[in-house]
Every structure is written in C-alpha cells, then in structure tokens.
Structure 1
Amino acid sequence: MLAAVGAPVPNTAHAVSVSLPSWKANVGYEEGEDWVVSKMQTGYPRFFIHLTIQELEREIMKKYGKNNERVMLFPSPATAKRCQKFFHDRAPNVPITAVRLLNLEPKMSSNDHDTVLSGVYCIFFPKEHFPIAKQVWQHTGDGISSRRGEFCLKALQDGYLQPVVAPGRIRSDSLYTKGPRRYQRGGSQNNINFLVNLPDPSPAGPIPEDKDYATFVEERFGRNLNIQLAEQAKVAMRRRIAGCLTDNLEPDEALFKSSQCTGGRHPGMTEDHVFLYPTGMSAIFNTHRMLRAHAEKEGRPPLKSICFGFTYIDTLKILEKWGPGCLFYGRGDSADLDDLERRLKSGERYLSLFTEFPSNPLLHSSDLPRLRRLADEYDFAIAVDETVGNVININVLPYADIVMSSLTKVFSGDSNVMGGSAILNPHSKHFDAFRQTVDKEYEDNYWAEDAVFMERNSRDFISRIDRINTNADAIATTLRNAKNVKAVYYPKYVASRPNYDTCRHPNGGYGGLLSVVFNRPEQAVAFFDALEVQKGPSLGTNFTLACPYTVLAHYTEMEWTAEWGVDPDLVRVSVGLEDTGPLVECFERALAAAAAA
C-alpha cells in the first residue's frame, strides 16, 4: 500500500525517504504549498531537518539562544567550526561575533562500564541567515543524525548535557582566524565516546520471534549502547566494504573469521584503507577537504577542481563553494575529455577530478582509463563516487585515488539509516602522502547507533545486488519496448556502455537505477501517478522507489539541466527486491496509463 503524502518511507521513526506519491505532490513540495508541507512527517535527512532534531534545536534555543537567533547542530567542534567559517566566507557582512559556537557535552562520572554518549556542538547565528547554515547541512552531510539527536534531546532534558563554557561566551579557539592551517585537528572533545554509570544492557541472545531487529536493538540497548558493540559494527562494515567479509554473520563471529584477510577485493586491501562517514555526501565533502588540505600542506597554490559528468547536485555545489571553484563538464563524454586534455596541454592545472560511475540520473559512465592517464601525466587526483554502480557490479579502484560511496543506498537497503565511506587506493602513487593527510584530518563522527543498524542491514547486501540487477534489467527492457517511451537511461543501454563494461566485474550486473523519458510531459505524469510503487527521494532501497527526479532535485533550474540532457519530465526508478513478474506487471499498467494520457 502506498504511503500518504508526507509519511515516512518506510514507516519508521528514522526513515530516509518520504512519500510524495503524485506528480502534483512533488511540485507542491517544491512550491512550498501547505497541503504538502504541513503533512511532512520527515524528509530526506540532508534536505529536511528531522522533527526530533528540530525539537532539540528548540530546547537548546530556550536554554542558550538569544532573540533573533537560530541554531544548527553538529557532531563535533571541528564540523561546527567549519559551518562558522562558511558564514565568514559566504556572508562577510555578518559580524564575526554574531556567529557563535557552544559545546554541549555530557557531565557524568565514569566507571568500568563503557557506554556510548555524545555531545552536540551548536552554531548560533542571526535567523535571517538560516539559508547559509542550511547549505552546510545539505551539502556537507555533516549535521547530526536523527538517532544522535534523539539521544541528545533526552540527555539535555535529563540535565546530563551541559555547556563547557557559560552561555553567550565564545572560547577564543572557536572563532575562525586566518593562518596557514585552514582546518585544525580536533582535540579530545572530538571523541564521541564517554564513560557513564548506567545499567547494563540485557544479556545478548536471539531476537524474539515477535520482534523485528529494529525493535530489538532499541529495546535491548536503548540509550545504553555498549562501545565495544559499536566499534565491532564499524570494523565489520569496513571489512565488508574492503571485501574481506562476505558472510552474513554476527559481528564477533564475522570479525574472527575475516581477521586474517589482507587481499579483500584488491591485493593488499584491508579495512585500514576504508573510512566511515555519517553520510555519503560527508564522504565526498571530506574527500575534497582532505585533498585541499594535502595541497596546502605541500605548499601548492589553490587550484580548481573538475566535476566530470552530470553528477548529483551537491557534489557540484561542494566543489563550487569550498575552494577556488570548479570546471564543470556536464556531459562527461569524449568531447569533454578532448577539451580537458587541450586545457591541460595548454598549461592549466587542477587539484582533482570528481565523477560518478555511472552518473545519476543519466547513468552515463566516463572513460576512466583515459582520465587516469591524464591524471598521471598532469598530476591531479581522481575521486570516483561508485554509489550507483556499487562494488559488487563494478571495480573502479584501479582508475581512482579515492572511491566514495553512499552506504545509505544499496549497502543498507532498508532506508532507515545514513552512512558513507571513502576508500584510499593502496596502489595509488599518491597513497602514502594522502594517507598521512587523512590520518591527520579524519575524525570518526559516525554515531554508534547508526553504525549498529547499518552493519546489520548490510550483511546480505551481496546477495541483494544480484536480485536487484535481475529486476532492473527486466524493467529496463519493458520500458524500452513501450511505444510512448522516448528514452531509457540504464548502463546497459546507453552509449557509454563500453566504458561501464571496462569496469564491470565478470559476473557483475548493471545496477538497480534507471531513468525514463516519455514522448510528452502528460505521459510522464500519468505514468508516475499510476505506478504502484513507493515514491520519494533516495535510491538503492530494498523496495522499488520512484521520483520525478528533475522536479525534485532541480525544480528552479530546469533550463540549466536541459542543457546537459536532463529532461524536465524525467522519471527515475530505483528497482527493489520484489518478485520480478508482478513488478513488471506493475510497470506495464503504468505504461498503459501513459499511453491513454
């Protein structure tokens, strides 16, 4: 049954998607119409601040805020200070004292029982400048998660979360100051783990038959999540991403079984080459931040980055807004490669090149071998977002210095937790230098409860990929055979398929994402409205999920997207695990509705 307008998808407190079940509802959301906005119980977490976090913000404002202020919350002092610096860079007319930082940290005695706790780090700013702070929340993905917000709200209400300095004061090191070091490594306050005297969790054991895993975790651990369990979950995830762990096992057993792995998916790869982040965009943002910090450490002048291909919008925004700017190649084809090579030969130099493989929503795959040759010759880094293709279908690491992924998507599948990862290629000629910078710059801000859920969700992700590949191939074939369909974008059927096949594993498929464009706009609307699947943002879910992508992601810039071949009426479909036959029939009924439009 399709969820109502504004309902969480799936129906859980920490859902990643939200139901916008009709074309009209998507337009209404973008237009801010009350009949949609007033019903929003949640939304995609980087765009919609979770209601629990909003409640936490209100409580903090009551205790520590000033008139005409708003507050935005971050998981560490370093992430909060980066928001503060963004204000000073993007709104220089805002007085430096008007953007202030307050650290709220647990004030509790310690003993031998290790339990996860967390502080929250607040940026107060003039409320009329909320859009500036929201850019940081959306683009960087470094805001607090809903589960962390839930914990901090309870801790604040119980009096355990208190300021480290008196309200209204600003510690001298909380203000941005100019200097050769743009990003300072956090001190002990960046550690999210504290010790606290709380009751022991109930003994480990099998999940009761009348409870699902989510309920079991919440009831068993509640606010008493053991640090060791959380750390085991993170190690298991890193080993799973590296390819050292392929079995669906509990963390303790899985870690024992995979402890001797030194090869993973690539010779020499281990979990030590994998870094976890709170979101996929956080992995991309912090990769860009690390590359800039590395160049600064080496004394190199600030250089633009390259966004190659029509990537997800926030990747481009990160490259444009943090640093000296970005060279954007919206098509990422051979003509763009020719132009890039001409620029490089003429003496232009760049810091890095970011690309998706394949791209979202056009499923285009860049010529990674040629990009690698240019990067080696002209000394820039290549960072590849492989979220859509995923490591089971494709192997892009030989051509990249860093590979990033949104674990929120197919790695999780359950659409109830966020996460991201970045892999440093151990065979990159830059590895040793990059590793030194990452070791200095990286901080683990991945909230422990999120890690526990993500680890459990990901145990069967390898087997899920095969089913999703089969279903997506069947849907793509069905759409291609429909008379009223103008174009189907799917790695198997686009012009850049040879580039995809270059990186495809021998048994790999073409992924679960595809897009479709109809001959006329009204056909797209009729198809979408009649499609009997969940509808909302995100992708990689275990259930099929659709959205009018351009409307939802680029509503105010459709003329711009059309320049790069992204149709205003494009419908994007993330194919799930349903039985293939009934799923195909569902799409056939929607196609019939489009034909009758």
Structure 2
Amino acid sequence: MTVPMPAENDIEVGETIPFMTAHAVSVSLPTWRANVGYEEGEEWVLSKMKTGYPRFFINKIIQQLAEAVMEKHGGDDEHAMLFPSHAIALRCQDFFIGQDPELNEQIRIVDLVPAAEKARSEDLAVISPRISAVLFPKSKFSIAKTFWQHTGDGISSRRAEYCLNLFSKGALVDQASIDKTSRLCKGPRRYQKKTSIDLTNDSNGSNGAGEAQDPTQFVEERWGRNLDISMTRNAKLGVRRRIAGSLTEDTDLNEALKLEKDVERTRGVADFSEDDVYLYPCGMSSIYNAHRNLMSAKGSLKSIVFGFPYIDTLKIVEKFGPGCVFYGLGSSEELDDLEKRLESGERFLALFTEFPGNPLLMSPDLERIHKLADQYDFCVVVDETIGNFLNVNVLPFADIVVSSLTKAFSGDSNVMGGSLILNPKGKKYDLLKRTFENDYEDNHWAEDSIFLERNSRDFVSRIERINTNADAICNVLLSHPRVKQVNYPKHSPTRSNYEKCRTPNGGYGGLLSATFYTKKDAIAFFDNLDTVKGPSLGTNFTLRLTLRDTGSLWGIGLVCVLGCRSRSCTC
C-alpha cells in the first residue's frame, strides 16, 4: 500500500513532525489559532494530536503499555506511570507522599523484568528491558504527571514499544513472582536483524536483508543507516566523545572510536574527557539529576535561578528542594543584588542559568558568576542547549554543564536525550564526581542511543548551516518596518558576555525571537510563513517556528532556524 506524502510544509494539526515518524518529538501546530488552542486545552486541537513533546504528551505507545500493565496488575480505580528503574519509581513514590501524605498506603510499585533472566540473549543483556510501574489512584494523575514532566525520567516510546511486545507475550513479568518457565521473546523484529553502519537500501525499499519494512519504520531508520543493537555501548561512547568536544568535523562512529581518550578537546579544560560525560533520557532529566545530586553532595539549600529560564528548570528547584531566589532578567543589577545577599551571609546550593537564555537570547555574565561562586561556595550549572558547544565554551565557568541532545545535537526530531558534564577543574569536582559515580544509572534506552549516534554524525556541518541561516533571517527581520525588536545574541545588549565564551569558529546559534508592533502582524507572519511549525528545537529542515503571546506585547514570535535541507528553501 502506498502512503501519500503531504506537501512539504502542509502538515495537519496534530500530525507528527517529521511526518510518518512513530517516535517523533514534535507535533504540527501550523497556525496561531492552533497554538493558542493547544495552550488553552481546546478539544479541536487535543483530539487530533497523534503525538506531542514527550514530557508534556505521553506517547500513545507508552499509554498502551501502561493500560496493559494496569489490566494485569492494577485495580479499577488505579492508573500507572512507567519508569526505567526501581530507583526512579521510588523517587516518584516519595514525591507522591510529599505532595499528599495520606497517599502513603495507596502508592504501589510493580517491577517488570524479563522472565527466565538467566537464559536471556546477549542482545537483551545490552537492552535490559526492565520497567517499574508506579500505581496510584486515578484521581491523583496530576501529581504523577508533574513528576513525569519536570524530572524527564519517564520511559521512552521505543522502550515502551519493546517492552509492550514482551509483556503481551508473557515474557515481561512481575519480579516478585517470576515464572521461570516463561519463554523469552526477542522483541520487535527490527531488534533481531543485523545491519552494517552504512547499509544502503535496494530499489524495493528493503533493509538489505530481503525484508520489506513498514513505511513509518523505513522513513525513521533512514535507509539502513542505523547500527546493530549490539553496538549500543560503542554508540554511547561515540555520543559522549562528541559531547566532550573531541570532534571538529562530521564523523561517523568508526572515526569517533579511533580517537584517543586524551585527544585535544575544544572545551578548553585540562584533564577533561568523555569520562566526565553522563547521558540521561532527556535534557530536563540531566537538570533534575544535577539538582538532586548537588543536594545529596552539599545539603538541602536554596538555589538561584538566574535569567529567564525554561519553565521546568524553575519548577525543579521549587518543587524538589527548599526553593530558590529567582532573578528573571539575568542583568548586572541582579548580580549586584545577589552579591549583597552573599555578603550579608546568605548561602546557596547552586546557580542555574542558560547560555544564552530563551526566548530573549540574553547571555549572563558567567565570568562574574564564576568568581562569586568560588568566593561564596556555591556551584554553577549552565544549560548550553541554545548556544551548543560548537558555538560557545561555557565549561571553564561552570561546575556542571547540561544540555538537551533532543534539539540541535540530534536534529532529526525522533529521539530524546540529555547530557551532563562535570568540570574536572571545578572546586567541587572530587565531591561531585564521587556523588555521581555512586548514584548514576544509565537509563538511556539502547535503541534511542543508536538513533542519537546516527543523527549526530553531521552535527558540525549542520551547526555551521544553522548559524548562517539564523543570521540571514535576523537581518531580514531587523530591517522590516513592522518588526519592533529582534532578540539574537549577536545583536543583544549582553553580546560582550556571549563573546567571552564564543569559540574561535563559533556563531550565534539557531534561535531568535521577534516582537511585532501589532498582534495582527504577528499572526499574519506566523500563519503565512511557509515552514513546518511545532514545539521543540529538534529539526534539521528549513526552519521551525512557535509563538508566545505574553499579554503585555502585541505579539511575540519565537523563531528557530534549524538548517536548510529543503529543496524549496531560499534562506
């Protein structure tokens, strides 16, 4: 059966972005009205959504697995939230009780593991298909969703797909009552095939082994370019080496693995290597676990959130600790106020900031923040997602650097990932290193790691293109009489702070925002721009745009320029 492809940018409300991608991390919201409808929970939008950003919209495959688990292990008035490990499920249980102590006896954990574990195959040992289900009263779903959204530690849709296959065949069972006679299923067929790193498909659309593929699988796997699942450990090592900054040009996995561990890095910090890089299920998970481990290492102190942050960063320090001091502008005047607090004796756990910030693209003064941190004994956590390490080097000014790999690092909008790196020259490095080594669980699902490695092979050339395109569009908007303001690091009043961290060949990134004089013009711009539109920054085709209407301005358009692979792009 031939599946018709839509026009390049004509994707209906609620369709996946990219089109026909089962594990897409973005969804089409093609008009201003659709965005407003989504934010306000209007049924005409929500009812059409096939997917959404995974922390906000629980993928339908995950929902299917949760329903199957509930049917077998739950009660009529219970619901389930799924996590990749028992430790995370325990943290979810603790969060429930912290929010509502009366739930103490009503929260249960069911650990599901492969039956007959001793007989499992080598591939399953690599994949480790385990899930831990937290069962709770249906009426308390909002508490579970809060934990899922803010921590980012829920299971991925690919893990759910694999485990649903096992569970439906009785091969994923309650650890408390393992049936050792259960037959172990090998999971979805694509986990069983053997492919080379760059296998080319034949004219019939097969995967090179004579096996016809489902069209959505064919689109997502990109003509057999994925590694075999047994290469998961190498794929993760390759990703960590790229994040460490060892690669200065597009590189496949074989080349990445040939590099020596102590190869010269672009991060500019002595003794830094991939050993100080930790992978997490998504960017928010890396932020949540940074905060959690900092409290474990230094005690339960308030934090500082400096600059206008991604909202979940603020929620993490508010909901999972004693709170924070919030400096929303990230200005020098606010640093003056912070310094006065410190001089008066106030003490803090850490300062969380983004470089640059979203959506105003202001760059905090990391040099001054670093000096204050050293003087007054707090840690600095910098989110480099928007800037990315090819454009800016923030590690010398931070104790911890976090990033969402879901965005530009991946680019294909079909996999989640996050990274956390420690600065080996930071004053608290030894303490933090011990803490993370004792606590860390690698919960990045095997096939997600395979996709992430594949997608990031051309990261270097994509960032060069992204920088060029964003700069060009910024210049167009700056010259337009209906645009009131354009926010971009190159034209920001905080550009000098950005330049202190800009790498020798770095640009100014792919994100910019524009404010229009009238809401009517903002709507007209949004609705008539011939691009795919949806949440997330993780696409590599033409450009992607979302919007924010602050209420205090006539309209603000948040534009993300993410490369030009479109045959019709004229950037």
- TM-score over 0.5 for the pair: yes
- Residue number among 53, 78, 82 corresponding to 1:44 in the alignment: 53
- Residue number among 382, 392, 395 corresponding to 1:394 in the alignment: 392
Q: Which residue of 2 aligns with 1:592?
A: none
TM-aligned CA deviation for residue 261 of structure 1: 2.2
Call closer, same or farther: CA 1:246–1:87 in 2, change over 3 Å: same
Distance 2:185 2:352 in 1: 40
Specify the code of the residue in structure 2 equivalent to 1:6.
G
Call closer, same or farther: CA 1:306–1:104 in 2, change over 3 Å: same
Q: Which residue of 2 aligns with 1:499?
A: 497
The answer to whether the 8 Å contact 2:13/2:49 transfers is yes
Distance 2:197 2:160 in 1: 28
Distance 1:205 1:420 in 2: 23
The answer to whether the 8 Å contact 1:113/1:195 transfers is no
Secondary structure of 1:132's counterpart equals: helix
Specify the code of the residue in structure 1 equivalent to 2:243.
I
TM-aligned CA deviation for residue 225 of structure 1: 5.7
Q: Which residue of 2 aligns with 1:590?
A: none
TM-aligned CA deviation for residue 105 of structure 1: 0.7
Q: Which residue of 2 aligns with 1:137?
A: 148
Q: Which residue of 2 aligns with 1:237?
A: 239
Q: Which residue of 1 aligns with 2:14?
A: 6
Please tell me whether residue 106 in structure 1 is matched to residue 98 in structure 2. Answer: no
Q: Which residue of 2 aligns with 1:117?
A: 128
The answer to whether the 8 Å contact 2:35/2:547 transfers is no
- Residue number among 359, 363, 366 corresponding to 1:365 in the alignment: 363
Secondary structure of 2:236's counterpart equals: helix
Distance 1:491 1:445 in 2: 34
The range that moved more, 63-72 or 214-223, is 214-223
Secondary structure of 1:434's counterpart equals: helix
- Residue number among 53, 56, 62 corresponding to 2:71 in the alignment: 62
TM-aligned CA deviation for residue 253 of structure 1: 4.4
Q: Which residue of 1 aligns with 2:201?
A: 209
Call closer, same or farther: CA 1:36–1:337 in 2, change over 3 Å: same
Distance 2:244 2:146 in 1: 32
- Residue number among 268, 271, 277 corresponding to 2:271 in the alignment: 268
TM-aligned CA deviation for residue 110 of structure 1: 2.3
Q: Which residue of 1 aligns with 2:450?
A: 452
Distance 2:372 2:225 in 1: 51
Question: Aligned-residue CA RMSD in angstroms?
Answer: 2.7
Call closer, same or farther: CA 1:258–1:244 in 2, change over 3 Å: farther
Q: Which residue of 2 aligns with 1:476?
A: 474
Distance 1:500 1:329 in 2: 19
The answer to whether the 8 Å contact 2:307/2:364 transfers is yes
Secondary structure of 1:71's counterpart equals: strand
**Which consecutive unaligned segments of at least 5 residues does structure 1 have?**
168-193, 297-301, 552-557, 586-597
Specify the code of the residue in structure 1 equivalent to 2:51.
T
Specify the code of the residue in structure 2 equivalent to 1:570.
I
Secondary structure of 1:460's counterpart equals: helix
What are the within-5 Å matches in structure 2 for residues 537-552 of structure 1?
Answer: 537-550=535-548
TM-aligned CA deviation for residue 119 of structure 1: 1.0
Q: Which residue of 2 aligns with 1:18?
A: 27
The answer to whether the 8 Å contact 1:14/1:417 transfers is yes
The answer to whether the 8 Å contact 1:540/1:574 transfers is no
Distance 2:149 2:247 in 1: 32
Call closer, same or farther: CA 1:134–1:410 in 2, change over 3 Å: same
Distance 1:219 1:355 in 2: 36
Q: Which residue of 1 aligns with 2:81?
A: 72
Distance 1:383 1:8 in 2: 33
Quick one: percent identity of the two aligned structures? 52
Please tell me whether residue 429 in structure 1 is matched to residue 427 in structure 2. Answer: yes
Secondary structure of 1:410's counterpart equals: coil
The answer to whether the 8 Å contact 2:197/2:227 transfers is no
TM-aligned CA deviation for residue 218 of structure 1: 6.1
Secondary structure of 2:548's counterpart equals: helix
Distance 1:133 1:455 in 2: 31
1:293-349: CA deviation from partner (whole Å, max 9, x where unpaired): 1013xxxxx210000000110000001101100110000001110110111111111
- Residue number among 539, 557, 569 corresponding to 2:555 in the alignment: 569
Q: Which residue of 2 aligns with 1:439?
A: 437
Distance 1:14 1:30 in 2: 22
Specify the code of the residue in structure 2 equivalent to 1:87.
F
Specify the code of the residue in structure 2 equivalent to 1:156.
F
The answer to whether the 8 Å contact 1:536/1:545 transfers is no
Q: Which residue of 2 aligns with 1:291?
A: 294
1:495-536: CA deviation from partner (whole Å, max 9, x where unpaired): 111111111112210000000110011111111011111111
Specify the code of the residue in structure 2 equivalent to 1:400.
A
The answer to whether the 8 Å contact 2:113/2:131 transfers is yes
Specify the code of the residue in structure 1 equivalent to 2:42.
E
Secondary structure of 2:122's counterpart equals: coil
**Which consecutive unaligned segments of at least 5 residues does structure 2 have?**
1-7, 179-183, 208-216
Distance 1:488 1:119 in 2: 47
Call closer, same or farther: CA 1:65–1:221 in 2, change over 3 Å: farther
TM-aligned CA deviation for residue 204 of structure 1: 3.1
Call closer, same or farther: CA 1:366–1:418 in 2, change over 3 Å: same
How many aligned residue pairs are there?
Answer: 540
Call closer, same or farther: CA 1:491–1:205 in 2, change over 3 Å: closer
Distance 1:449 1:327 in 2: 39
The normalised TM-score by structure 1 is 0.86
Distance 1:46 1:432 in 2: 32
The range that moved more, 23-32 or 65-74, is 23-32
TM-aligned CA deviation for residue 222 of structure 1: 14
Distance 1:165 1:220 in 2: 42
The answer to whether the 8 Å contact 1:471/1:580 transfers is no
Specify the code of the residue in structure 2 equivalent to 1:150.
E
Distance 1:477 1:469 in 2: 13
Distance 1:248 1:146 in 2: 28
Call closer, same or farther: CA 1:120–1:568 in 2, change over 3 Å: farther
Distance 1:71 1:539 in 2: 30
- Residue number among 261, 277, 281 corresponding to 1:278 in the alignment: 281
TM-aligned CA deviation for residue 95 of structure 1: 2.5
Call closer, same or farther: CA 1:31–1:400 in 2, change over 3 Å: same
1:341-367: CA deviation from partner (whole Å, max 9, x where unpaired): 111111111100000000011101001
Call closer, same or farther: CA 1:352–1:37 in 2, change over 3 Å: same
Distance 2:121 2:51 in 1: 38
Q: Which residue of 2 aligns with 1:179?
A: none
TM-aligned CA deviation for residue 460 of structure 1: 1.0
- Residue number among 127, 142, 154 corresponding to 2:138 in the alignment: 127
The answer to whether the 8 Å contact 2:354/2:383 transfers is yes
1:257-302: CA deviation from partner (whole Å, max 9, x where unpaired): 4455264533322110100001000011000011001013xxxxx2
Secondary structure of 2:173's counterpart equals: strand
Specify the code of the residue in structure 2 equivalent to 1:572.
L
Please tell me whether residue 156 in structure 1 is matched to residue 142 in structure 2. Answer: no
Distance 2:470 2:530 in 1: 16
Secondary structure of 1:165's counterpart equals: helix
Q: Which residue of 2 aligns with 1:175?
A: none
TM-aligned CA deviation for residue 549 of structure 1: 3.5
Secondary structure of 1:412's counterpart equals: coil
TM-aligned CA deviation for residue 112 of structure 1: 6.4
